[in-house]
Amino acid sequence: MIPITLAEVAAITAGTLGGGVAEPGSAAVVTSVEIDSRAVAPGCLFVALPGEHHDGHDYLDAAARAGAVAALVSREVDDPPLPCVQVPDTAAGLADLAREVLARLRAADDVVVVGITGSVGKTSTKDLLSVLLTPLGPVVAPVASFNNEIGLPLTVLRADERTRVLVLEMGADAPGNLTFLTSVAPPDVAVELIVGHAHLGGFGSIDGVARAKAELVQGLRRDGVAVLNADDPRVSAMAPLAPRVTTFGRSGDADVRALDVTVDDEGHARFVLAAGEERLPVRLGLAGEHHVTNALAAATVALHLGLPLAHVVEELAAAAPISPHRMQVTDSADGIRVVDDAYNANPTSMRAGLRALAAMTAGERRAVAVLGEMLDLGPDSGREHAEIGAYAAELGIEEVVAVGAGTAPLLAAAVAGGSGGHHAADVDEAEQLLRGLLRPGDVVLVKASNGVGLSRIGDALATGALGAATP
**pLDDT band of 467, cuts 50, 70, 90:** low
Q: pLDDT tens for residues 46-86?
A: 999 998 888 999 999 999 999 999 999 999 999 999 999 99
Q: At 42, phi and psi to the nearest 5?
A: -50, 135
From the number of C-beta atoms within 10 Å of its C-beta (0-12, 13-18, 19+), residue 196 rates as: buried
- Find, among 99, 145, 140, 100, the residue nearest to 121 by Cα: 145
- Helices 177-184 + 90-108 axis angle, to 10: 50
**pLDDT band of 306, cuts 50, 70, 90:** very high
Write the single-letter amino acid at 209: V
Q: pLDDT tens for residues 184-212?
A: 999 999 999 999 766 555 676 888 889 99
Upstream peptide bond of 24 is cis (omega within 30 degrees of 0): yes
Alpha helices, DSSP H only, in 267-397?
A: 291-304, 309-318, 347-361, 381-394
- Find, among 348, 290, 280, 357, the residue nearest to 317 by Cα: 280
Q: Rounded mean pLDDT of the chain?
A: 93
Q: What domains can be seen in the chain, in order of their start residue?
A: 4-93 (3.40.1390.10), 109-318 (3.40.1190.10), 328-462 (3.90.190.20)
Strands 225-229 and 244-249: parallel
∠ CA 303-308-309, nearest 5°, is: 80
82-86, 170-174, 437-441: range with lowest mean pLDDT = 170-174
The pLDDT, as a whole number, for residue 25 is 64
Q: Is the pLDDT of residue 469 over 80?
A: no
Summarize the confidence of residues 149-176 as an average pLDDT. Answer: 95
The helix or strand, by DSSP H or E, that contains position 200, with its residue range, turns out to be helix 200-203
Strand arrangement of the beta sheet that strand 165-169 belongs to: 139-140, 165-169, 112-117, 189-192, 225-229, 244-249, 256-263, 268-275, 278-287
Cα(167)–Cα(183) distance, integer angstroms: 15
- For the beta carbon of residue 320, count every other beta carbon within 10 angstroms: 11
Q: pLDDT tens for residues 107-120?
A: 988 899 999 999 88
